A and B are shown apart, each in its own frame.
Chain A
Amino acid sequence: MLVLTRKCGEAIRIGNGVTVVLIKAGRGQVRLGIEAPAGVPVLREEVYARIAEANRDAADRTALAALAGRKNNKQGDRS
């Protein structure tokens, strides 16, 4: 991992489109400003991790048979 030291008001550019500005540094936390091109999502890591886990869970568990079978059962119940 690249590690850089920045002062308040200084920035880092990532590629041509992303700028991260250190706005304020306090005890145990910093405030960052992020500029990214339109359409590039910027998420807190823990939010990204929760969505990724939900996606993996949905992909792993949801089998074709589970949904096809469900409808067949429902039709069976009605008849």
Chain B
Amino acid sequence: MVEVGIKIGLSITQIAVVMGVVLLTVMFLTLAERKVIGWMQDRMGPMEVGPYGILQPIADGLKLFFKEDIVPAGANKFLFSLAPILALVPALIGFAVIPFGPNLTVEIFGVQFQPFVISDINIGILYILAFTSIGAYGIILGGWASNSKYSLLGGLRAAAQVISYELNVGLAIVGVILLAGSLSLVKITEAQSGWFWNWFIFAPPFPQLFAFVVYVISSVAETNRMPFDLPEAESELVAGFFTEYSGMRFAFFFLAEYANMILVSCIAATLFLGGWNAPAPFLQFHGSLANLAWASGVFWFTVKVYFFLFLFFWLRATLPRLRYDQLMRFGWKVMLPIALGNILITAIAAYLFPVGK
């Protein structure tokens, strides 16, 4: 009984820590995005709140918290309130299976405990794919329930876009799963240990470079970010599916978008860039410092995730929005055949040169 209590307590602590880190990262990202894009466009970004504007996220949060919560006339109140939660929860719940650091098991009060992954389930990647699909419902329902033509158009676009590109994400991941022989994110990361050419983006027998490119592009599209931000195209649709939202409900959609960005970056780092593994064995703590190997693992994971987050900002500062037919053609006629071909070749290569298992 005591053991179960300790287990639950540890799990809740772990969940609280991970959620705290994710929400802090979201806060930091909102500032970092505005700053980085500003710098790339010869502007300064926010400068007024605090020195160099570093307190801007707090000011934004306070503003959203105290804003009036408006439900438009004729809106479906139940779905209107449900949609932001449906968008946010799947984005946050995906972090349950992400391994943030080495696969250690420590014993606390006689309870086995993995400090760097909340739960290492053996269908981790399927679990994430399943839950991110639910996030699309939040967007569609939010667009429909607002009783506004802009929101409805944004929701419809989001539906079509998320479904087409989620397919590509799923198919791009299949190659990695074939090579790793497991759906568990911990096992997939462990299969990439050693030098950086063991990462699945470079790994023999067939480097997953094409799958990586397909995955990155599709995940940008799936999170509705520039240049695929058609659901919230502000020049055409005001703000797309969250046009009618204000206050905390808008903040939920906002949080969901950034949490999705982090989640997608974590998956990309885990599947293709070796997760917590350092590029070379000597770049992590070893020998007499082997007890601190977890610190370097967390460091390398963070570096990889932030590289992807920077890539998101970079793309946003560079590229204009795609037209809708271009988006669909690119998804179905370019990305999908590449992903399918990659699966075919990877399967043949993995059959002919089986990886040592």
Chains A and B come from one and the same complex: no
Residues of A within 8 A of B (CB): none
